[in-house]
Structure 1
Amino acid sequence: MADHHFGGIRIRHLYKIFGPNAAAHIEAAQKGMTKAELNRAHGHILGLKDINIEIPSGCIQVIMGLSGSGKSTLIRHINRLIDPTAGEVLVDGVDVVKMDETQLREFRRHQTAMVFQKFALLPHRSVLDNTVFGLEVQGIARSKAVDVAMRWLERVGLKGFEDKYPNQLSGGMQQRVGLARALSNDAPVLLMDEAYSALDPLIRTDMQTVLLDIQKEIKKTIVFITHDLDEALRLGDQIAILRDGEIIQQGTSQDIVLRPADDYVANFVKEVNRGRVVQVEAIMSPLRGATASSGLTVHAGTTVEEAVRLLASVPDGDVTVLGASSEPVGVVTLRQLACAMVSSQGQERQRDVVAMAR
């Protein structure tokens, strides 16, 4: 397994300007020139503007935005497939921007692995040979490489398919091969660029589950790009929302849904099933000496939807929320739960929910 002392990723004051004379315009961008102004005045494109992100080791960081927001540009700075115009990309404390060719090659082989939207499998290689590809490049003995690859193929549900070729597999299975190949590398950083966007919704949900299950064991630092909010909320320990190359909001799924930073984010989260995202500790009343009357308890991390199901049996009661050591930390009522399930625009729906629950 990867080194557990891995220090995560820190991106600081990252700018990317696309155009023949990018360096000449960096100062203007740093002083606040907008994307539209830079394009109009100088014919250059401001791809990323003052990006600052801290990604702790072992967490899933989702970067979300619409097409053209800069999210794929951003992820390609982490393994320096794209060079920044200014800024730092520190991976495990080392600035990738300052690496020479040899260091960069070593870094890409051992520190990062990437999963692409279009699978990027080699068509003339079997599933097994696709999976061992990264290990071959590292010069690892065939027998050892095969052992590692077979373990990951089994883990992603492809045992028995190792001799098949990519064109014999469905899209979902091809993406499992891509994931097994990336995991075989045992790199501490996993970069996933719209990895599940090409898949059908049900297969996509399956793949999210596979990733979350595996992540519980391997605790990689995963940067996951998506334009799908449900996917972001399901996968992300942290979410950063990009628009026009700038981060508009960073936070947990709770922060994004309950406290959108502006109208742009509020529009994104408007249709979200809040009951499945919001957790009880985000809306509970902290305990002040007294415990709840009904004797019902839930652990912090329980979603509002699960808590409503529990409370449906005692509609007049409330639920005690238990912290990490099973000590009571707060109380939540049916009314609070109902309010949390609808956004501030939905007062009528809120009353309906309360009425139905009674």
Structure 2
Amino acid sequence: MNVKLSAQNVSKLFNDKQGEGASRLAKGQSKEEIFRETGVTVGINNVSFDVNEGEIFVIMGLSGSGKSTLVRTLNGLIRPTSGKILIGDTDVASCSKDALRDVRRKKITMVFQHFALFPHKTVLENVAFGLKLKGIAREDRNKAALNSLAKVGLDAYADSLPDQLSGGMQQRVGLARGLANDPEILLMDEPFGALDPLIRREMQDELIGLQRELKKTIIFITHDLNEAMILGDRIAIMKDGAFVQVGTAQEIVSEPSDDYVRAFVADIDRSRVFKVSDIASDAAWVNADATASDALKVMDRQKSDLAYVVRAGVPVGLLIRSDAMECARTTPVRDIMHAEPPVVAEEAYLNEVYAAAQTGVPMAVTNEDGKLVGVVSQEQIFEQLASGPAEEESADSEPAAPAGKVAE
């Protein structure tokens, strides 16, 4: 993978003029002890991570955990006490002002929680402002700004003033302004934190939709674990300036690194964390031109009482064992199958497949090309939603076969 940003052993201590705080931190003293004994505040404690091109990397933590301090070091608003922050060949932690200005203009843009829109400028002028600072001609920057507004569904409001828009719409303007610069990296510091819950969820969906299209590299800061789980390709949980755990939502929920993380994820909505692909199992299947005899052999081999019927890999029907046994063994399965079987996408979250699961019939799992790659049952969904970290499969368990490798 192409690494777009690399933070290496980054620390930030405030009011540590004599270096005593750094010395105590290196010896293992806690943030609280250092502050109590020296008055030095540990903002970031030896944090290292890479952010890959096209991923949403979420930094999550409670107030005072250091997440906002960290994100401000990433674009040079705060210089770290030690460590490196590499964006391309530039070390943001130590580069010159000119080099830092160049990085901000060409490679990294920040979207803030409180919109930061100019009230006297139109929506179009607000979005185009960063391009104006770059010296881009009016016609070109307005064209880019309109294109960016169209991406967030606000091109019709280009001539409006910010106070004529709702809070959610204003945040879309802020997002459009960040996108107009076409940055390599987008920093988002609790951008939806000031929004009502319903609008916040809409903005999360908006960002997910934009990311599917634009594939930006995004570093997203939040104190909301559900938001982190919904948005993050990977999530870093911070406490006392340090990373406690980094992983996918599924990894963090299934295998919390300590009691702190375990307490965080105890009440998480697992249906919005786990996807169909996380629990799908092998499917018994036969081609549409197979016979009842062929289907029974597949069902026996898979120890299943049903088989999916596929045409060019796409599920077109479902065959039940009793139907195959009651007819002549040479009967084509297409003549005895049940058409229009329940189908769900492997990338769907579990909460998105409840309706299909209500049929009680195991659902065909398909990839982005619509081809069968596995099967998931109502029981599998219930088991995943009911299980907790302590009930997850142990490391010594035999790994399950990959979904999709079902019948030859």
The TM-score range, normalised by the shorter chain, is: 0.7 to 0.9
Q: 1:164 to 1:298 in 2, by over 3 A?
A: closer
- Aligned-partner SS, 1:135: helix
The equivalent position to 2:48 in structure 1, one of 48, 52, 56, is: 52
- 2:115 is the counterpart of 1:69: no
1:42 maps to: 38
Q: Aligned pair count?
A: 341
| Secondary structure of the corresponding residue to residue 55 of structure 1 | strand
Mapping of residues 302-321 of structure 1, within 5 Å: 302-314=348-360, 318-319=362-363, 321=365
Counterpart position of 2:405: none
Q: Is residue 2:235 matched to residue 1:239?
A: yes
C-alpha spacing 1:335/1:104, structure 2 compared with 1 (3 Å): same
Counterpart of 1:218 (choices 189, 214, 220) is: 214
Distance 2:211 2:57 in 1: 12
Secondary structure in structure 2 of the residue aligned to 1:132: helix
Structure 1 gap ranges (5+): 348-358
Give, in whole Å, the separation in 2 of the partners of 1:267 and 1:173: 35
Q: Give 2:381's aligned residue.
A: 337
The one-character-per-residue Cα deviations of 1:255-301 (angstroms, maximum 9, x if unpaired) are 12222222222222222221222123333457898486353664432
Residue 165 of structure 1, CA deviation: 1.7
Query: How far off its partner does 1:144 sit?
Result: 0.2
- Secondary structure of residue in 2 paired with 1:89: strand
Find the counterpart in structure 2 of residue 156 from structure 1: 152
Normalised by the length of structure 1, the TM-score is 0.87
Q: 1:161 to 1:298 in 2, by over 3 A?
A: closer
Label 1:230 to 1:21 Cα distance change in 2 as closer, same or farther (>3 A).
same
2:277 to 281, 288, 291: 281
TM-score, with length taken from structure 2? 0.77
Aligned 8 A contact 2:229 2:272 in 1: no
Q: How does 1:15-34 map to 2 (within 5 A)?
A: 15-21=11-17, 23-34=19-30
Alignment of 1:291-310 (within 5 A): 293-295=306-308, 298-310=344-356
1:46 Cα deviation from its structure 2 partner: 0.9
Structure number with bigger Rg: 2
What is the CA distance between 1:322 and its match in structure 2? 5.4
Deviations along 1:61-107, whole A, 9 cap, x unmatched?
11111111111111111101011011111113432112111100111
- Distance, in Å, in 2 between the alignment partners of 1:287 and 1:160 is 48
Report what 2:102 is aligned to: 106
Distance 1:278 1:100, change over 3 A: same
1:307/1:128 CA distance change after superposition, 3 Å: closer
2:248 partner amino acid: T
Q: CA RMSD in A?
A: 2.6
* CA distance 1:40–1:157, shift in 2 (3 Å): same
Greater relative CO, 1 or 2 (CA 8 Å, sep 6+): 1
1:131 Cα deviation from its structure 2 partner:
0.8
- What's the CA shift for 1:330? 5.5
Partner SS for 2:115: coil
Does structure 2 conserve the Cα–Cα contact (< 8 Å) formed by 1:6 and 1:188? no
Find the residue that maps to 2:28 and give its secondary structure.
coil
Counterparts of 1:326 and 1:156, CA distance in 2: 29
1:220/1:344 CA distance change after superposition, 3 Å: closer
Unaligned segments of structure 2, at least 5 residues: 285-300, 309-341, 392-408
Identity of aligned residues (%): 43
**After superposition, where does 1:258-269 map in structure 2 within 5 Å?**
258-269=254-265
Verify: 1:141 aligned to 2:134, yes or no: no
